[in-house]
Chains A and B, each alone.
Chain A
Amino acid sequence: MIILTLKEQPVVPLESEVLSPDVTLSLSNAAIRALPVYLGKTQRRVEDFFTVEGEASDEIEIRGDAKQVKWIGRGMSRGRVKVVGNAGMHTGAYMKGGSIEVTGNVSDWLGGEMSDGFIRVGGNAGGQIGAAYRGSRGGMRNGTIIIGGTAGLEVGMRMKRGTIVIGGLVRDFAGLEMKGGTIVLLSGAELRTGAWMNRGTIVSLVPIPLLPSFMYAATYNPSFLRLYAKHLRTLGITIPDDPHDGGYQRYTGDTSIPGRGEILVWKPHAS
């Protein structure tokens, strides 16, 4: 394992896309220390900001408050990155495989346009999780993102496949222009959830304010959610799937597109 310990907080965001298992896999300690990072427009070396222990590994552990460190694990296809502390913007962007764990909070664009892999954040996350970058047609294409805390705006914007689970409250426009995939809101969301969504599924375990362009269809227990429930249980997340406990109210939309997405809102039986 390679351990990178932050020496001091960068004064401006540090562009660090070299902090990826694909890059460090075959590099010596000296070569890792010499990898280029960008502080603003200035090229610097990894060792200017981190002490580096270990070499030639696809397991990286970053210690310290790395909230200004951007692009950690960018495009990684294998291995494991663990951030003990916070992580900056674009963590796991364009990720193709492997896993990232952040024990603290993470900033915007987590897993932006990722195509596979697994990301878990213990704390809160910013906006645009798994989203498409501005001007891009599609967000995340596969993979799983799990946030223990809250999340910001436009979670899963234009995502096409994959699963995002948010433990805490999510801000506006979750699932904006969603094209596929599944977003699970364990504690609900604020306004305009699913706006302009074309396809895909948003599951909320608590009642959420719905746009008037979503139409109620039925209350039932979708078979596919049982697959997700079983899968998520292996990740320590429980979503209800027993018909004896309740059902999901299905709302289809966004009919202003008109879209064929769905919002499923859990409704427990009256006890």
Chain B
Amino acid sequence: MPPDEDSDPAMTGTSEAGVNMERRGVRIVDTFAEAFDMRAARVLITANTLGWARTGAQTMTGFATSVIGCKVEAGIEAELAPENTPDGRPGISVLLFGFDADGLSHRLLDRIGQTILTCPTTACFDGLPGAAERVNVGGQLRHFGDKFQSSKSLNGHRYWRIPVMDGEFLIEEKFGVQKAIGGGNFLILGMDQDRALAAAEAAVEAMRKVHGVILPFPGGMVRAGSKVGAKNYKKLSASTNDAYCPTLRGRSGVKSELPDNVNSVLEIVVDGLDREAIENSMRVGIEAACRPGIVEITAGNYGGKLGKHHFRLHALMATA
């Protein structure tokens, strides 16, 4: 049966196993999201206008949804007012997540080199100045200057000035890398596609206000949730999450996890600089997603065997 849209918004149980929790009639499954250790960098992109900073940031964070397929997960963290950027211009903060600092440094070099260096009026700064681990990015990218580049040091930071056709591209020499967590998630199980999408959009809007997280998938959500490996193609490392595909309900070999009245599922994946940021974003996201037409909120995990960070939905929402 679909949920009662007028039901009590309060929790109807506790986080004890087997006891229901509801938000505005939406069932919160007593399960957990399983997330992993990652390394993160924060890049501050500034430009003459916020529009050009955003253009650079969007280009830089394109094709960066999954570290498995794209070697990096990246997204826009926040817009920055001129008073909050190093050069006093409007800016965008971008977070990038990788498995290790070495890999991340290569991705930073590739992406800044191809998307920010090339973007009119932009400059690029480290957004994690307190991070102990540093990777050399500007110091590598300077070679594009073909020995016409020059550097400036100010307040303990070194910057490279690379001559380009619209003037100069300015980039900080080193970028901080810190421990982070990737793969926080929850799934929104809706009665139909429109309402699942509307709930996911509401969740994304709320989650993007939280500092220190990104939602790396298109529009902040993913429809192609995956399982580890594949049942029929042994060489695949990941394949469709058949248990949550509505069209596979009742199909032989599929153990559907979907209630009968669920016909569309969207997943929100969140990467964060620390556990608190992910918890805060999941909490506000789930809260926003609990709206008419949504049956259930659940989360993806691997039985707790792969990732050491577990985000229990009931514990999260008990403090909402």
A interface residue numbers (CB < 8 A to B): 142, 161, 163, 182, 199, 201, 218, 220-224, 226-231, 241, 243, 260
User: Does B152 contact A224, Cβ atoms closer than 8 Å?
Assistant: yes
30 CB < 8 A contacts A-B: A142-B153, A163-B154, A182-B152, A199-B150, A201-B152, A218-B167, A220-B168, A221-B167, A222-B168, A222-B170, A223-B87, A223-B123, A223-B161, A223-B168, A223-B170, A224-B152, A224-B170, A226-B87, A226-B88, A227-B86, A227-B159, A227-B170, A228-B154, A229-B88, A230-B87, A230-B88, A231-B154, A231-B155, A241-B88, A260-B150
Q: Is B314 an interface residue when CB atoms closer than 8 A count as contact?
A: no
B89 within 8 A of partner (CB): yes
Shortest Cβ distance from residue B127 to the other chain A in the assembled complex, whole angstroms:
15
- Closest B residue to A228 by beta carbon equals B154
A226 adjacent to B152 (CB under 8 Å):
no
B118 within 8 Å of A (CB atoms): no
Q: Which residues of A contact B168 (CB under 8 A)?
A: 220, 222-224
Task: Report the minimum CB–CB distance from B111 to chain A (whole Å).
Answer: 19
Which of B87, B155, B159, B170 is the most central at the interface, judged by chain A CB atoms within 10 Å of its CB? B87
Give Cα A220 to B164, complex, Å. 12
Chain A residues with Cβ below 8 Å from B169 are 223
Query: Contacts A227-B87, A229-B88, A230-B86 given: A222-B154 contact, CB under 8 Å?
Result: no
Cα(A81)–Cα(B167), bound, Å: 42
- B48 lies within 8 A of chain A by Cβ: yes
Q: Give the distance in Å from the alpha carbon of A62 to the alpha carbon of B168 in the complex.
A: 46
The interface residues of chain A lying within 8 Å CB-to-CB of B159 are: 224, 227
Residue from B89, B153, B155 whose CB has the most chain A CB atoms within 10 Å = B153
CA–CA, A142 to B159, complex, Å?
A: 14
Contacts A142-B153, A231-B154; is A220 near B167 (CB within 8 Å)? yes
Instruction: Give every chain A residue within 8 A of B155 (Cβ-Cβ).
Output: 231
Which chain B residues lie closer than 8 Å to A230 at the CB level? 86-88
Q: Which residues of A contact B154 (CB under 8 A)?
A: 163, 227-228, 231
Distance A221 CA – B170 CA, assembled complex (angstroms): 12
Q: Which residues of B contact A142 (CB under 8 A)?
A: 153
A172 → B minimal CB distance (Å): 25
B150 contacts A161, C-beta separation under 8 Å? no
With A142-B153, A218-B167, A224-B161 known, 8 other A-B pairs at CB within 8 A are: A222-B168, A223-B169, A224-B152, A227-B159, A227-B170, A229-B88, A241-B88, A260-B150
